[in-house]
Amino acid sequence: MAGWWRELLRTVRRYPWPTNVLLYAALFSAGDALQQRLRGGPADWRQTRHVATVAVAFHANFNYVWLRLLERALPGRAPRAVLAKVLCDQAFGGPVYVSAFYFEWSDVLAFCTADQLQPRSCSLENSLHWALWFSVGHFPLLFTTGW
């Protein structure tokens, strides 16, 4: 047992990028499957496959590169360095993460220009608008969504 474990650890250290991508995709997919299970409905493996594809194709790779870049740009584990990393991640990484989910929803996310903005109620139809606002924090994505 110890022989294959040492070999696995050596491979993980030798190839950190593919290891992180596969681990991220596995955790992302497991989270989606667990969420479906907790909701009580039948498992939608097609959705889980799509989640895994997005995780492998974008999120895992972006996370690996982005977090390495942050670590090189802002080295250290002091509270000030950690706070700077978190703020940079929320300010620059957050919008990129969120935009990857809604990339193919260009017809849903029809952002209006300033002369087209109209007051709207905060109904369920505008829930995507609020999801975007809360997920990126202070970024001004307060545009009305076109349905």
Query: Which range is least confidently modeled, 28-42, 59-73, 93-107?
Result: 93-107
Q: Which residues contact 112 (CB under 8 A, 6 or more apart)?
A: 118, 143, 144, 146
Of 32 and 2, the one with more pLDDT: 32
Nearest to 114 by CA among 139, 143, 87, 88: 143
Q: Which residues contact 52 (CB under 8 A, 6 or more apart)?
A: 25, 28, 29, 32
pTM of the model: 0.62
Q: Which residues contact 42 (CB under 8 A, 6 or more apart)?
A: 36
Q: Which residues contact 8 (CB under 8 A, 6 or more apart)?
A: none
